[in-house]
């Protein structure tokens, strides 16, 4: 059942699964919705966690038009959800939300007991000439840039085809149809384009201020980086010593939680078992 939380600038939609247990808050990437975690939520809830899947500002059932869409803004939204539901929580953030989780953990360590970043955009990006020799990176970047430039749903769909290399989820056709429909709603594509133009420098600046354990999960075939493992290693290196750990899911693209849910859930559950805390402990 969808629930709503009014925050400064708009209304956030979220859904809670599991009546009790340590809180886990899931945040998706741009151009998506909380349905991105449709395969993972049941596994976490069955393991005894209270799971809140959030629609980011501008996405899903959250209001479409907001003053801004930076990672710092998203971090504030996630912390508002944690406060509303009673923290602390482990934050799981995908792509742009990975950077937001970093900021939230640095800003409110009492509310965040751990963070998991799925294929995150957390550091300032720079494209090198040698990166363009990697075909999947070249294809992904071209389609992402085209989506941002033209606001094209068709180009976004084309990017998703590259971002899910090899096997697709069983509900691929139905899911992409729903994504197309969402992005066709007034204000949704504009929100995604503004997210895409939001540089992750605010998140990168907070990496050294994180005080909780961090798990970085990369897909070995993620088209958003020429070398996904190197990106994950750079994030871990920027964290305080001993806090970060990197896992790479072989064959996965930019959406391991939907493409390889069993492997992703196993990594999440191991991390949660060590770091999730119930309210008041």
At 74-91, the pLDDT tens digits run: 999 999 999 999 989 999
Average pLDDT score over the chain = 95
* pLDDT reported for residue 132: 82
**Residue 281: what pLDDT?**
44
**0.75 exceeded by the pTM?**
yes
Domains of the chain: 3-275 (3.40.50.1820)
Instruction: Extract the tokens encoding 50.
Output: 């209270």
Examine the pLDDT at 23 and tell me if it is beyond 60. yes
- The answer to whether 281 touches 55, Cβ cutoff 8 Å, is no
Determine how many CB atoms are found less than 10 A away from the CB of residue 205: 16
E strands present in the chain: 3-7, 10-17, 23-27, 50-55, 89-94, 112-118, 214-219, 244-249
Is the bond into 142 cis (omega within 30 degrees of 0)? Answer: no
Residue 279: the pLDDT is 62
Q: How long, in residues, is the chain?
A: 281
% the chain with pLDDT above 70: 99
In Å, what is the CA distance from 145 to each residue of 22, 88, 190, 259? 39, 37, 14, 23
Q: Which of 101-105, 109-113, 133-137, 188-192 is least confident?
A: 133-137
The pLDDT value given to residue 107: 97
């Amino acid at each position: 059942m969808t629930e709503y939380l009014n925050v400064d600038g708009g209304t956030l939609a979220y859904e809670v699964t599991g009546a009790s247990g340590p809180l886990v808050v899931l945040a998706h990437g741009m151009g998506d919705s909380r349905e991105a975690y449709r395969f993972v939520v049941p596994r976490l809830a069955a393991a005894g966690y209270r799971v809140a899947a959030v629609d980011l500002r501008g996405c899903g059932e959250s209001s479409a038009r907001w003053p801004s869409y930076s990672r710092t803004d998203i971090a504030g939204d996630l912390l508002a959800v944690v406060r509303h539901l009673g923290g602390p929580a482990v934050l799981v953030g995908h792509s742009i939300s990975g950077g937001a989780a970093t900021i939230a953990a640095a800003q409110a360590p009492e509310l965040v007991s751990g963070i998991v970043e799925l294929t995150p955009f957390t550091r300032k990006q720079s494209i090198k000439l040698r990166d363009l020799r990697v075909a999947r990176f070249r294809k992904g970047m071209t389609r992402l840039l085209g989506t941002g430039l033209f606001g094209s749903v068709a180009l976004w769909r084309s990017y998703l085809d590259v971002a899910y290399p090899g096997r697709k989820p069983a509900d691929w056709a139905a899911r992409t149809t729903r994504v197309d429909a969402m992005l066709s709603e007034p204000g949704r594509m504009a929100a995604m384009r503004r997210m895409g133009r939001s540089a992750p420098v605010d998140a990168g600046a907070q990496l050294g201020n994180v005080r909780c354990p961090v798990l970085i999960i990369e897909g070995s075939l993620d088209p958003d980086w020429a070398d996904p493992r190197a990106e994950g290693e750079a994030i871990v290196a920027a964290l305080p010593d001993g806090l970060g750990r990197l896992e790479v899911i072989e064959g996965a693209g930019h959406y391991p939680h939907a493409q390889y849910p069993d492997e992703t859930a196993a990594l999440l559950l191991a991390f949660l078992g060590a770091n999730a805390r119930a309210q008041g402990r």
